[in-house]
Amino acid sequence: MVKELIIDSAPEKGVTIALLQDKQLVELSKEQANNNYAVGDIYLGRIKKIMPGLNAAFVDVGYSKDAFLHYLDLGPQVQSLIKLTKLVKNGSYKEKLLDSLKLEKDINKAGKISEVLTRNMLLPVQIAKEPISTKGPRLSSDLSIAGRYVVLVPFSSAVSISKRIKGNTERNRLKKIVESIKPANFGVIIRTVSEGKGVAELQKDLLDLIAKWEVLTSRLRMAEPTHKVLGEMDRTSTILRDILTDEFTHIYVNDPVIYEETRSYVQEISPDLEKIVKLYKHREPIFEHFGVERQIKAAFGKTVNLHGGAYLVIEHTEALHVIDVNSGNRTANKENQEENALQVNMEAAKEIARQLRLRDMGGIVVIDFIDMHKPANRKELHAYLKQCMAADRARHTILPPSKFGLVQITRQRVRPEMSIVTNEKCPACDGTGEIRSSIVLMDDIENNLSFILHEQNEKDITLCVHPYIYAYIKSGLISRRMKWYFKFGRWIKVKPISSYYLTEFHFFNAKDVEIKL
């Protein structure tokens, strides 16, 4: 599988990142300029309200809406975090690590938030879910700092390993390495990409994360409430950190500054791949050059066509997405109807897995596949959908088809859904659905001709119109153009432009510059 990353930077739109697999668009990410509430950012929050009924608190982190912190997101060692925050703020804890900090007991999993937090308390919190729609950010005080190979978890001692690393020998090897190099009172999560890596690489990554923790504690001492204490990397670096492998063949960037940042970061985390980062210099927009723009327009509409003639209809609500699978113009007789339904459903399952990643659809997704009567076929479809979704980095659960033939998926949502308008405003009606009356078109043209010739004193004029109007102006023994010659005393050049809509016309002077009316 060949992977490419196309990075488009525009001052007004921010940075848009497209991930291609075998030239097909599978992920699209956007990072707005000055995105202050990205997943992973750590703020010094102030507890605004305690809500016993919700067993949660509303926290002021500087956003227009208060952020939400549930009891289950406090983390077992939140008392140790509260203790450290108080000691650091009053200047009595000078160390950068946690060696000399006596950890508090874990909080009760079934406890009440009012037993832990109080109003106006200061608490470092991490963005777990970005602001979506009218809701503020979702927070967690179970802090973690992610690196390429490992994730650093303060106030813990556990070393856990990604479930995707299967071999027991490799799991034991990685665990022994990390246990020998991690500092006291810090836990570590070993990521999938650590498989096969040596001590030096893991240690370097861990030391980088420890340095970030030291920055956090030093900033915490002087930080004002609601201020950001530690920011996550930019979206480009985050994606590279999480997915960069030897399967990548090219990373194209159209901005020199982001190119240098990307090249430096790739050189740092994977020196062998530095040469694949390239600066795009052509005049044509980068997404158009690599066919990304066309794929975006084709993939983000309400209806998504499949290769075999079938199609999907995708509808969205606040927390629920509904996908309907239709066979379209595919026909089948009674003998192979079941087989035909299975083929369409399998093709749809592959595209649905791509659509979930591409649009970053989260919450509940309900899919209405074409009915199949054989249990074996329904089981095969469920297994294939799980296989197609295996590459999805968002946490998800796929339930087997219900007795009504519906498949339900829950998918983690941490950012607003990717939404792109694929319809364009009609240039003829400007989106109103109405155009000027064709019967007065010639009157409009003549009135403008009179103004240009008599008021602006233009000498050599070219009128550009739709080919149908061009034929009408030139038709007849005494054509409309001949009448203009008798009326204005000037010969008007007329030129057909096939891209114009029917009632569109423009005037150009002798220098081929449009005359603005």
- Taking a C-beta distance cutoff of 8 angstroms, is the pair 134, 63 a contact? no
pLDDT tens profile 376-398: 999 999 999 999 998 888 889 99
Closest C-alpha to 218, from 207, 226, 227, 229: 229
Q: How confident is the model at residue 114 (pLDDT cuts 50, 70, 90)?
A: very high
Q: How confident is the model at residue 334 (pLDDT cuts 50, 70, 90)?
A: low
Euclidean distance between CA atoms 289 and 253, whole angstroms = 12
- Taking a C-beta distance cutoff of 8 angstroms, is the pair 75, 91 a contact? no
**Percent helix, percent strand, percent coil in the chain, to nearest 5:** 35, 25, 40
Q: Average pLDDT for residues 418-427, to the nearest whole number?
A: 63
Does the pLDDT at position 494 exceed 90? yes
Closest C-alpha to 192, from 391, 58, 347: 391
Distances (CA, A) of 318 to 139, 203, 315, 366: 20, 43, 11, 14
Closest C-alpha to 292, from 238, 250, 344, 239: 250
Pick the CATH number of 41-230 from 3.30.465.10, 3.40.50.300, 2.40.50.140, 3.30.1390.10: 2.40.50.140
Helices 235-243 and 256-269 pack at an angle, to 10 degrees, of: 30
Q: What is the DSSP string of 200-220?
A: HHHHHHHHHHHHHHHHHHHHH
Determine the pLDDT at residue 211: 93
Burial (CB count <10 Å: 0-12, 13-18, 19+), residue 91:
exposed
Helices 467-474 and 480-488 pack at an angle, to 10 degrees, of: 70
pLDDT tens profile 180-219: 999 999 999 999 889 999 999 999 999 999 999 999 999 9
- Quote the percentage of the chain above a pLDDT of 70: 93
- Taking a C-beta distance cutoff of 8 angstroms, is the pair 229, 42 a contact? yes
SS3 call for 79: helix
Report the Cα–Cα distance between both ends of the chain, in Å, rounded: 55
Q: Average pLDDT for residues 21-39, to the nearest whole number?
A: 81
Does the pLDDT at position 331 exceed 60? no
Q: Please state which of the ranges 15-19, 66-70, 91-95, 232-236 shows the lowest mean pLDDT.
A: 232-236
Closest C-alpha to 143, from 126, 130, 128, 156: 126
Q: Which residue has the higher pLDDT, 421 or 67?
A: 67
pLDDT tens profile 456-468: 888 889 999 999 9
> What is the CATH number assigned to the segment(s) 301-411?
3.40.630
Euclidean distance between CA atoms 330 and 315, whole angstroms = 23
